[in-house]
Amino acid sequence: QKEVEQDPGPLSVPEGAIVSLNCTYSNSAFQYFMWYRQYSRKGPELLMYTYSSGNKEDGRFTAQVDKSSKYISLFIRDSQPSDSATYLCAMRGSNDYKLSFGAGTTVTVRA
């Protein structure tokens, strides 16, 4: 079993829809949770960074962490064609700088 599970999709939604992405994990030591966006032929770009449980909002993006369920989510509101990319979840422990990544979910927003 992988340490971080993420449905690879692909996910296709119409412009303006809400995109919902999620990851589950098994390591209870994870404390820092991240979401990255990766466009084709580019490096991953940090979107959201959260510590422990709770919600964080940044513009159209909302990240949620539920440590009791070992489940994290990313919501994209009012999705745009420019949001079409692969979204990767990543996480690490407090004293461990090694990131564990999900497999990535490919999202297409149709105009």
Partner 1 sequence: EAQVTQNPRYLITVTGKKLTVTCSQNMNHEYMSWYRQDPGLGLRQIYYSMNVEVTDKGDVPEGYKVSRKEKRNFPLILESPSPNQTSLYFCASSSGRGGYTFGSGTRLTVV
Q: By CB under 8 A, name the binding residues for partner 1.
A: 34, 36, 41-46, 49, 88, 90, 97-99, 101-104
Q: Taken in order 7, 12, 14, 15, is the CA torsion positive or negative?
A: positive
Q: How far is the CB of 101 from partner 1 (least distance, A)?
A: 4
Name the residue nearer to partner 1 (CB basis): 104 or 109.
104
Name the residue nearer to partner 1 (CB basis): 17 or 31.
31
Q: How far is the CB of 57 from partner 1 (least distance, A)?
A: 17
Q: How far is the CB of 76 from partner 1 (least distance, A)?
A: 18
Name the residue nearer to partner 1 (CB basis): 55 or 110.
55
- Element (H or E) spanning 24, and its range? strand 19-25
3-state secondary structure of 81: helix
Residue 106 CB burial class (10 angstroms; 0-12, 13-18, ≥19): middle
Q: How far is the CB of 43 from partner 1 (least distance, A)?
A: 4
Decide if 107 contacts 21 (C-beta within 8 A).
yes
Name the residue nearer to partner 1 (CB basis): 97 or 111.
97
The tally of CA atoms less than 13 A away on the side-chain side of residue 94 is: 3
